[in-house]
């Protein structure tokens, strides 16, 4: 049956299943998968040595609107995962900082992502899984995503 499905439907089903499984893992931390992904981005950027992370950086990275990111950050701050504080470089902006509770969380998120990918790739050989990832990277490049 899956072979006869339109490609767009296959991608939509995989996306929903991937998100559902990540949501289950995120909910154990009191977060949604989207909140966890944004938190992971902040953590990853901090670990990469970014001096300041601003809301507009996260909007571009996550490809979400300003109002949506504002709500996401407010929820993460109210749950104690981040702090929004005035930027030292430009007082018009607030910088986003992980709290002690979430510092380095990007490593946990990568582990969870790998777990879900392994679950969904069950039955594939390591070589098939690597080919799948390589082909997915090429399709993303063709789509204009980095």
CA distances to 52, 64, 95 from 32, rounded to whole Å, are 25, 16, 22
The residue that leads in pLDDT, 31 or 90, is 31
The residue that leads in pLDDT, 90 or 7, is 7
pTM of the predicted model as reported, rounded to 2 decimal places: 0.75
What are the pLDDT digits (tens) for 111-145? 999 999 999 999 999 999 999 999 999 999 998 86
Residue 67: HSE in the Cβ half-sphere, 13 Å Cα cutoff: 0
Q: Which CATH architecture has domain 2-143?
A: Orthogonal Bundle (1.10)
- Structure-block tokens of residue 14: 């995989």
**Is the separation of the CB atoms in 40 and 105 below 8 Å?**
yes
**Is the separation of the CB atoms in 11 and 60 below 8 Å?**
no
pLDDT class of 93 with cuts at 50, 70, 90: confident
**Is the separation of the CB atoms in 27 and 38 below 8 Å?**
no
The Cα 106–Cα 45 span in angstroms is 9
Residues, the chain = 146
**Is the separation of the CB atoms in 62 and 105 below 8 Å?**
no
- Structure-block tokens of residue 58: 């996260």
Task: Return the CA Rg of the chain.
Answer: 17
Instruction: With a cut of 70, say whether residue 1 has pLDDT above it.
Output: no
Instruction: Enumerate the domain spans of the chain.
Output: 2-143
pLDDT class of 146 with cuts at 50, 70, 90: low
Q: What integer pLDDT is reported at residue 91 of this predicted model?
A: 83
What are the pLDDT digits (tens) for 16-70? 999 899 899 899 989 988 899 899 999 999 999 998 999 999 999 998 999 999 9
């Amino acid at each position: 049956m899956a072979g006869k499905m339109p490609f767009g439907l296959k991608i939509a089903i995989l996306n929903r299943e991937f998100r559902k499984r990540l949501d289950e893992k995120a909910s154990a931390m009191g977060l949604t998968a989207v909140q966890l992904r944004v938190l992971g981005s902040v953590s990853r950027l901090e670990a990469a040595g970014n001096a300041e992370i601003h809301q507009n950086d996260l909007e571009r990275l996550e490809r979400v609107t300003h109002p949506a990111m504002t709500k996401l950050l407010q929820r993460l701050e109210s749950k104690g995962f981040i702090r929004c504080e005035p930027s030292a470089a430009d007082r018009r902006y607030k910088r986003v900082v992980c709290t002690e509770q979430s510092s380095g969380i990007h490593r946990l998120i990568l582990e969870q992502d790998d777990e879900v990918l392994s679950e969904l790739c069950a039955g594939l050989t390591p070589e098939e899984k690597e080919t799948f990832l390589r082909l997915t990277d090429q399709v993303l490049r063709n789509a204009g995503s980095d």
